[in-house]
């Protein structure tokens, strides 16, 4: 038998190492708490959520190759939603939720090279969908073909005025430049196109500049979410890489904010080291609350050393920003971690495999908020926020 005899110095070294190990364990546990166990993403009182995915119900809309239309652009019969259905808008009408979603045909194998059209689904419970077999907005042989052929009509956001006029802001994509377009309807089926949102602003200066993703300001009045004015003007947040503000008197012609040199003024930009390090893109219509104007937006994580290491490179997650009620250009608060992120398999395994929950539709329905989102650019999902219940956001880790 060998008896191990330690010197006084060796014993002190062992004690020191144990203390270091204990300190490391405590630090790790503390860091895990900060960076997100399942229930620690407690949202501040100014934010909306958390949003809960109904168990076993998602996705609520998936591609259907049996729906066919004659397309004047291709001069052929097209299965218009054969490949993907995603990036939905949502609005309430006649005690139902209506979801307007982007659908892609299968005219090209590459991502971003198919033709998109806008489909319509209705639901009495916000989950079970009944779809129309034909799109409600599509590239046609009309005066707007220069903006929409052959990429189509993409990524709608929809809201309604107090007198029942539905306004859609969508991306016209001609496979060269994406531009923000406007359409209106009284029944959600028949839409009148009005062309480019920024066509007339500053003598047409921004007519041919890339633009997309408009979130018009709304508020809840008498239980209904409707478009509302701020300081006597309609206001919308817009932009993909960054967020800008535009104002309007008629909901159709918009004037973007510019700085003293006449350049677009960015009021929200990406942040290195955060989930939105790659871009900040507007989501569904903004909502006026008692705390301010609340904007839900999409943030993309970078793929380099400036990304947030807690999330996969390239991931799209969702954040929230609170603007001042009286000054819609002034940021008051901003979430540092997403309240909503890719978690389910179908949110991480479609066209966009890095993981995407791309939010575009928000509807106030029977005292709850229904959030509709694109799942990996392939399907449509829903998550529900009940203001009567305190629920955390999605776990960070």
Tens digits of per-residue pLDDT, 102-125? 999 999 887 778 999 999 999 999
Section 243-260 average pLDDT: 97
Confirm if 117 and 84 have CB atoms less than 8 A apart: no
Backbone angles phi, psi at 345, to 5 degrees: -55, -40
Mode of pairing for the β-strands spanning 214-221 and 286-288: parallel
Q: Given pLDDT bands bounded at 50, 70 and 90, which one contains residue 9? A: low
Range name among 243-257, 316-330, 339-353, 371-385 with the lowest pLDDT average: 339-353
Q: Given pLDDT bands bounded at 50, 70 and 90, which one contains residue 2? A: very low
User: What is the pTM (predicted TM-score) of this model?
Assistant: 0.90
More confident position, 189 or 353: 189
pLDDT of 3 > 90? The answer is no
Confirm if 371 and 382 have CB atoms less than 8 A apart: yes
Backbone angles phi, psi at 150, to 5 degrees: -110, 10
Q: To the nearest whole number, what is the mean pLDDT of the chain?
A: 91
106 to each of 66, 77, 210, 311, 371, how far by Cα in Å? 12, 12, 25, 31, 27
Confirm if 266 and 279 have CB atoms less than 8 A apart: no
pLDDT more than 90, % of the chain: 86
pLDDT of 295 > 90? The answer is yes
Nearest to 369 by CA among 39, 47, 120: 47
Section 52-57 average pLDDT: 98
Distance CA 108, CA 270 (A): 32
At 351 the pLDDT is: 84
pLDDT of 346 > 50? The answer is yes
Residues in the chain, how many?
397
More confident position, 20 or 395: 395
More confident position, 25 or 97: 97
pLDDT of 31 > 60? The answer is no
| C-alpha dihedral, 224 to 226 to 231 to 232, nearest 10° | -120
Q: Given pLDDT bands bounded at 50, 70 and 90, which one contains residue 15? A: very low
At 12 the pLDDT is: 55
Nearest to 151 by CA among 210, 91, 203: 210
For CA atoms 272, 175, 112, 295, the dihedral sign is positive
At 354 the pLDDT is: 85
Nearest to 261 by CA among 210, 212, 214, 202: 202
At 17 the pLDDT is: 55
81 to each of 63, 99, 118, 344, how far by Cα in Å? 6, 15, 9, 23
Distance CA 188, CA 96 (A): 12
At 20 the pLDDT is: 44
Roughly how many angstroms between the first and final C-alpha of the chain, as a whole number? 50
Confirm if 301 and 317 have CB atoms less than 8 A apart: yes
Section 323-350 average pLDDT: 96
């Amino acid at each position: 038998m060998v008896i191990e005899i330690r010197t006084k110095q060796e014993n002190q070294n062992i004690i020191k190492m144990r203390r270091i190990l204990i300190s490391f364990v405590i630090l790790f546990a503390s860091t895990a708490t900060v960076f997100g166990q399942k229930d620690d993403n407690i949202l501040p009182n100014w934010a909306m959520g958390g949003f809960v995915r109904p168990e076993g119900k998602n996705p609520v809309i998936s591609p259907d190759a049996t729906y066919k239309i004659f397309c004047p652009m291709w001069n052929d019969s097209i299965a218009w939603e054969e490949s993907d259905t995603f990036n939905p808008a949502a609005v309430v009408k006649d005690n139902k939720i209506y979801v307007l979603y982007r659908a892609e045909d299968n005219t090209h194998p590459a991502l971003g090279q198919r033709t998109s059209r806008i489909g319509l689904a209705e639901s009495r419970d916000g989950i079970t969908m009944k779809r129309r077999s034909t799109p409600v907005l599509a590239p046609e042989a009309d005066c707007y073909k220069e903006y929409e052929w052959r990429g189509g009509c993409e990524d709608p956001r929809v809201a309604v005025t107090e007198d029942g006029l539905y306004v859609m802001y969508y991306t016209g994509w001609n496979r060269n430049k994406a531009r923000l377009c406007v359409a209106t309807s009284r029944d959600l089926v028949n839409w009148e196109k009005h062309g480019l949102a920024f066509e007339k602003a500053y003598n047409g200066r921004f007519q041919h500049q890339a633009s997309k993703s408009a979130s018009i300001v709304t508020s809840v009045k008498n239980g209904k979410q409707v478009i509302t004015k701020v300081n006597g003007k309609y206001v919308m947040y817009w932009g993909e890489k960054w967020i800008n503000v535009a104002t309007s008197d008629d909901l159709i012609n918009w004037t973007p904010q510019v700085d003293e040199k006449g350049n677009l003024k960015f009021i929200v930009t990406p942040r290195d080291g955060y989930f939105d390090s790659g871009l900040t893109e507007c989501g569904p219509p903004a909502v006026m609350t008692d705390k301010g104007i609340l904007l839900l937006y999409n943030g993309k994580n970078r793929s380099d050393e400036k990304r947030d290491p807690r999330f996969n490179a390239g991931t799209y997650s969702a954040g929230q920003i609170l603007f001042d009620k009286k000054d819609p250009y002034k940021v008051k608060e901003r979430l540092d971690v997403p309240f909503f992120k890719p978690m389910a398999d179908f949110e991480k395994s479609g066209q966009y495999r890095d993981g995407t929950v791309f939010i575009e539709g928000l509807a106030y329905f029977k005292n709850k908020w229904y959030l509709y989102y694109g799942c990996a650019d392939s399907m449509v999902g829903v998550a529900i926020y009940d203001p009567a219940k305190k629920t955390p956001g999605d776990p960070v880790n």
